[in-house]
Amino acid sequence: MDDDVRAFGTELGRKALAQEWAGVQAMLAPWLRNTWSVEKVQEFFEDEYRATLDANGAEGSHHPEYPEPQLDGNGFTKATQLREPISFAGGKVRDVPVEVTDDNVRYWMKLQLQGSDEQMAKLGFDSFCEVWISVVETAEGLRVGYWSQGAY
């Protein structure tokens, strides 16, 4: 992962961890920013936190407390591959915006937001969410061109 891509992912993850939803929304590519309100961005994360908590039988409201996002992914998955039907997921096709192209995709990034050691011990799981992001180059710099909870 190139340093600038890592720095982008780290900044995005830190904003989400700090619940700076307007800051997260500002890191979306223009075509996503036009359709994703700050509230929708917040729901994107918090709905996944709630689903994870529910799946693990955890009560109450919790946000991930580990101070740094975990980043992974690859530089070879481009827009063409992202639009292909996923055979092992029933032929599902990701709704990748037309603005995401093979030329502007820099990285297919996995961003995990994890609980603190105390949360892991108490709640019984480590990762609150796993967001997959098509990091794209725009006139504004690196931005989120497409994202989803989970890779598929």
Domain residue spans of the chain? 3-149
Query: What is the model's pLDDT at position 59?
Result: 84
C-alpha to C-alpha distance for 36 and 13, rounded to whole angstroms: 17
Q: Say what the pTM is.
A: 0.93
C-alpha to C-alpha distance for 140 and 28, rounded to whole angstroms: 10
pLDDT (tens digit, 9 = 90+) per residue, 103-142? 999 999 999 999 999 998 988 889 899 999 999 999 999 9
19 Cβ contact partners less than 8 Å away, ≥ 6 residues apart: 42, 63
C-alpha to C-alpha distance for 36 and 21, rounded to whole angstroms: 11
Query: What is the model's pLDDT at position 18?
Result: 97
- Record the tokens describing residue 73, joined without a space: 């992914």
pLDDT (tens digit, 9 = 90+) per residue, 52-83? 899 988 888 888 989 999 999 999 999 999 99
